[in-house]
Amino acid sequence: MFKSIAILCGVGTVGLAGFGGYVLAARPLHASAAEITANATPKAPAWQIASIGRTEPRYGEIRISPTVPGRIAQSFVQANDRVEEGDVLLRLEDDEARFRLVSAEAEAAVRRRERDAQPVAVGREDIKRIEDLLYSAERSATGARFELDFVLGARRAGDSDKAVASARKRLVEARERVQRERAALGAALAKPGLAAPTRLEAAFTAARADVSVAETMLDKTRIRAASAGTILQISGKVGETVGPSMDHPLLVMGDVSAMRVVAEVDETDAAKVRLGQSVFVRTDTYPGRDFEGKVTAVAPSLAQPRIGQRGPRRPTDVEVLEVTILLDGSVPLLTGMRTEVFFR
């Protein structure tokens, strides 16, 4: 049998003829429009804005520095410790502050005896009574605060939490009593036609004020937790001299029960960001894993970028919009990680 190869000239079709002229194969030169759309058009991306970000604790980092210079005498916490609001983290040397408080209290006691030795001015009987109650309440609050500091230190050494709870309760009650007495004194002093205080009454009031100032100075030697959270960094050691500094905080803490990302969106994309917007975050530390979240805050104005800025700012640099994203659930991200943020 004669074998031949024939070319069949159809519309865009090339055919191979075999024995007897039968077509063995056919292939279209041009696909249909539907096939081109299905195969050639890329899928729409799952996001419309991409930016860089930085991870932070749920309410941001709390940077703590002493308000007065001093030498660290005692440290009560370490990195990764969980603390409650008001807990003493570090104690500065406080001998001078204690001496001032003792002196002020002694002076106030003398002034009080001198005032009590003289008859009270007409119409100021309630004032005297409330002032004495307030002074007693303030003394009780000071004692309760020092007691709580002591039991907190004992708990870290192995004592039970029951003593801490009891001390916290007494401190709250003492502070509530101080507030009540202050309100009562303010109401009493606001009465019309009140007689002016005598010199001895004024001297006792001034002495009480000196005691309050001395208490405040003593309390400033205690570096306390501003809120409940976890200690992230401690830069001071026992024996070192420290002072107020915004650039070099003594401690950094935050609530890491949840994490957030602060992203910087270019000003050209600012109109595409909205509260409640769904976001996913990626980081090189966990390749192939997306962390979901939602936009919880959008800055009211543009600002200069702070993440990854290197060298002096150039005239061509754009402003950015700071956007806060709260991540869902518990995530393994650490504070300070750089991330890529994708806004859906």
Angstrom distance (rounded) from CA 300 to CA 321: 8
Domains of the chain: 1-41 (no CATH), 49-59+255-343 (2.40.30.170), 62-251 (no CATH)
pTM for this prediction: 0.72
Note the pLDDT of residue 159: 60
- Residue linked to tokens 């050209």: 268
Using DSSP's 3-state secondary structure scheme, residue 226 falls into: coil
**Quick one: tokens of 64?**
């703590």
Note the pLDDT of residue 309: 54
Contact between residue 144 and residue 104 where contact means Cβ atoms under 8 Å apart: no
**Quick one: tokens of 74?**
């005692």
Angstrom distance (rounded) from CA 73 to CA 238: 6
Element (H, E) at 153: helix 125-156
Residue 9, burial from CB neighbour count under 10 angstroms (0-12, 13-18, 19+): exposed
pLDDT tens by residue, 302-312 = 888 888 654 45
Note the pLDDT of residue 102: 94
DSSP letters for 18-36: -GGG-EEEEEESS--HHHH
Question: How many CA atoms within 13 Å lie on the side-chain side of 130?
Answer: 16
pLDDT tens by residue, 8-30 = 333 333 333 333 333 333 334 34
